[in-house]
Amino acid sequence: MFIAAVGVACASGVGDERVLAQPADFDFPSLPQFALRRVGRVPPFDPERFVTQRKSLKRMNRASLLAVAAARQLALPDGGSEAGLFLGVGMSGGEIALLAGLLDTSRHPDGTLDLAAMGREGLAHLHPLLSFHVLNNMPLCHVSIELGIGGPHAAIHAPGGEALQAFARGAEAVASGEAPWALSGGADAPLNTLTLALTDEDLDRPLAEGAAVALLSDRGAIEWLGLSEHRPQSIDAARAEVLEGEPSRWIAIGPALAGRGAIPLHQRVGETLAASGALAVALAVHLLRSDPAAATVGICAQDALGTSVAALRRAG
Amino acid sequence: MRVAITGEATWTPDGIAPIRRFDASRFPVRFAAEIEAPGTVAMGLLVVREALGEVDRLRAAHDPARIGVFFGVEPERVAAGDWARVQGERRAATQQDRAPRFAGLLPEGAYRRRSPSRLTDAVADLCGARGPRRTLAMACVSSAAAIAQAYLAIARGEITAAIAGGAAQNVEPLLFAGFCLLGAMSPSGECRPFDGARDGFVLGDAAGALVLEAESAVHSGQIRGRLLGAGQSLDAYRMTDPEPEGRGAAEAIRAALTDASLDPRDIALVKAHATGTQKNDQVEARVIDALLPHRPPVMAVKGAIGHSIAASGVVEAIAALEALRRGFAPGIAGLTHPDPSLPPLFLAPASAEPRTIRGGVALCNTFGFGGINCALLLGAP
């Protein structure tokens, strides 16, 4: 299975995989809630460039917008109504501004919630489009609607490298004939008040928003070799399931691979949570296209449960 | 590879009642189908234990690396009180012209505890599965999609066994408030699928799990049913409404039939998604009527147990499987006067005589917000 093209929206910019050659700016100064942090925000862009109808922007949360922006970079073949769509999604939806009116009218003086007041007055202050912003599968729905993708699909919860599963599933769908081609990727947008508050205690790297979406088909310049999903297992055991020998380059999601010279993904794009696996694939595609010494790239995602490894190579 | 169902379990509410979990006395909707349980992980683990019988059963019969776990779960909701604390600090910071201080405001590890993959991981650890783990966060379609993914993985020979299901504890103030605002919930507290007086769904909690195994790996006495096919589609239409002609839903059903190499006339029972909302029931009735003119009996369960969102696909599929095994379709709780404006389906109220099922295949529809469709085909043992 092949990756024909990749679209990216991350702290380095919006475009194809080449934007990953540009350094990301993690010192984003202008939002007061980020004053104590280094964060990775997608550089300003005109969202209307990426949607078919301006009014649909009102229903899009940030992760959905980034997913649509990334997917719009791709020139899609015909047959979208049967094509597959597989995205890693996070749990960062919901700007607190959508709830501010409800919460302000539903708090006791001591700050605790007054449910009677919420029912009596608060609901009238609730943002009417709240549900469109908080449901986690919204990036999947918006990409489907904006790009006319109607075939097999999945929104895979992907707090770490699990968006790689979206590529494995997309490759299966095309290989089996379930879909003529597929989009696989991931998106997350954690730079909102609640996620910042929830993650305040334990992040040692810049929290960042991002998305990447790839076109998988039976032809292309980059070959997707597979994903080892069995856990727990060693890096070498996982690598051996998808690639003979060491890859030319390693990309690490999460902890760096000691002694293997891996590129830590978060140094390039920040901690992008559910978008990590997809941005790692985009970075792999960039390396395979731009670095003559990179013939194969391994992506390693490690978490408390074990290791998974994906591999790609330049097609002959 | 044929896929057998060798275990199943559900945890569903006793019925619909005034909300007990929080003070909803001033909300425009005050009814729900609640389960008192300490969260989705506990609910999910309980049904998995029950479905397996013995937790080591799969590990003894299969290579652990070829046992997968596929669950449809939404993230744990952020407690309304936590939202209130964050908003309070945000307001205070604005008034005092300083950056907000969130550190220590919320319980430590709160972000990680929200993760729906906690349940998938816990199930894998419980039964010793070392194969693929997938957590599907797809709102109403989550657990049906999880079953579809597990089915495909076994049917294609990637794995030989899987546990698939979903769990959801939905009845909490902010989600409830959001659905109130959308006007999707029944103010009367009665979900009336396909009824002329239908006015929305009733939110509920539930959990369910299926044990799936390659049929070649089990003996006939273990088979409680079969998964014959699965089909998925996206409407690619609008965020707010289903595609009026039901093209996406019909495509999912056709894809499932093609996958199973079955003819529409083979379908002997339809388990409808049937939320009891005006548009959804109208579109679904149109699709069933158009694709299945031989009019198999239609069942729907949300009038009895509410709409459990992420868990609805699995618990309703298990209800359909039980109907297949018994050979009759239960009447539809909440239905008293079928909507005369809908295409004529083979419906029956709960008080009616059970309808005989003439065949061994059930179609299970699950449709979701944003135009997500999943159709499963179940077979009798």
Residue-wise pLDDT for B105-140, tens only, equals: 787 777 778 889 999 999 999 999 999 999 999 999
Residue with tokens 């079969």: B226
For chain B, domains (ranges, CATH) are 3-78+112-379 (3.40.47.10)
And the tokens for B294? 């031989």
pLDDT-derived band of residue A201, with 50, 70 and 90 as boundaries?
A: low
Amino acid identity at B42: A
Average pLDDT of the residues of chain A: 90
Window 157-176 of B, Cβ < 8 Å to A: 158, 173-174
Chain B residues in contact with A139 by the CB 8 A cut-off are none
Q: Give pLDDT, residue A33.
A: 55
Say whether residue A164 is in contact with chain B using an 8 A CB cutoff: no
Chain A interface includes B139 (CB < 8 A): yes
- Residue B182's pLDDT is 86
CB contact under 8 A, A197 and B86: yes
Backbone angles phi, psi at A64, to 5 degrees: -65, -45
What chain A residue is nearest to B101 in terms of C-alpha separation? A197
Quote the CA–CA distance of B126 and B249 in Å, as a whole number.
Answer: 36
Residue A37 is predicted with a pLDDT of 66
CA-nearest of B264, B284, B287 to B275 is: B284
- pLDDT tens for each residue of A80-111: 999 999 999 998 777 788 888 888 888 887 77
CATH superfamily ID and name for A2-96+129-220? Thiolase/Chalcone synthase (3.40.47.10)
Helices (H), chain A: 62-71, 97-105, 115-120, 130-134, 138-147, 163-175, 193-198, 235-242, 265-269, 276-290
Are residues A33 and B99, on separate chains, in Cβ contact within 8 Å?
yes
Cα angle: A154, vertex A155, A159; to 5 degrees: 140
d(CA A264, CA A273): 14
Per-residue pLDDT, averaged over A172-187, amounts to 96
CB atoms within 10 A of CB B279: 13
Quick check: B24 contacting A, CB < 8 Å? yes
What is the residue-averaged pLDDT of chain B?
Answer: 94
3-class secondary-structure state, position A182: strand
pLDDT of residue A47: 95
- The whole-number pLDDT of residue B259 equals 97
pLDDT at position A304 = 65
Q: Which residues of A touch B73 (CB under 8 A)?
A: 157
Residue A100, φ and ψ in degrees, nearest 5: -55, -45
Stretch 287-326 of chain B: residues touching chain A, C-beta under 8 Å: none
Strand partners, B379: B226, B361
Higher-confidence residue of A292 and A107: namely A292
**CA distance linking residue B167 with residue B143, whole number of Å:** 8
Q: Kindly tell me if the per-residue pLDDT of A36 is higher than 60.
A: no
CB-defined contacts A:B, below 8 A: 224
Predicted structure pTM score: 0.96
Whether pLDDT at B255 is above 90: yes
- A127 pLDDT band, cuts 50/70/90, is confident
Averaged pLDDT, B290-306 = 98
Chain segment A50-88, per-residue pLDDT in tens: 999 898 898 899 999 999 999 999 999 999 999 999 999
Long-range contacts of A231-235, Cβ-Cβ distance < 8 Å, separation of 24 or more: A231/A305, A231/A306, A231/A307, A231/A308, A231/B130, A231/B133, A232/A305, A232/A306, A232/A307, A232/B130, A233/A306, A233/A307, A233/B130, A234/A307, A235/A300, A235/A302, A235/A307, A235/A309
Catalytic residues of B: 140, 273, 307
Query: Cβ contact (<8 Å) for A115 and B86?
Result: no
- DSSP, residue by residue, A147-172: HT--SSEEEEE-SSTTHHHHHHHHHH
Q: Is the pLDDT of residue A34 over 70?
A: no
Q: B368 CB near a chain A CB, below 8 Å?
A: yes
Does the pLDDT of residue B198 top 80, yes or no? yes
Q: What is the CB-side half-sphere exposure of residue B104 using CA atoms within 13 A?
A: 1
Mean pLDDT across the stretch B166-179?
91
Give me the residues of A, 234-273, that contact B with CB < 8 A: none
Interface probe with A: pick from B91, B134, B180, most Cβ of A within 10 Å: B134
How many residues in total does chain B contain? 381
Residue intervals of chain A classified under CATH 3.40.47.10 are: 2-96+129-220
At B99, the pLDDT band (50, 70, 90 cuts) reads: confident
CA dist A223 and B50 (Å) reads 43
pLDDT at A242: 95
B33-88, pLDDT tens digit by residue?
A: 999 999 999 999 999 999 999 989 999 999 999 999 999 998 887 777 888 888 88
B113 touching chain A per CB within 8 A: no
By the CB < 8 Å criterion, does A102 face chain B?
Answer: yes
* Confidence band of B205 (pLDDT split at 50, 70, 90): very high
Nearest to A116 among B26, B84, B88 (CB): B26
Please check whether residue B175 is in contact with residue B29, taking contact to mean a CB–CB distance below 8 angstroms: no
pLDDT for res A35:
52
Mean pLDDT along residues B360-371: 96
pLDDT at position A31 is: 55
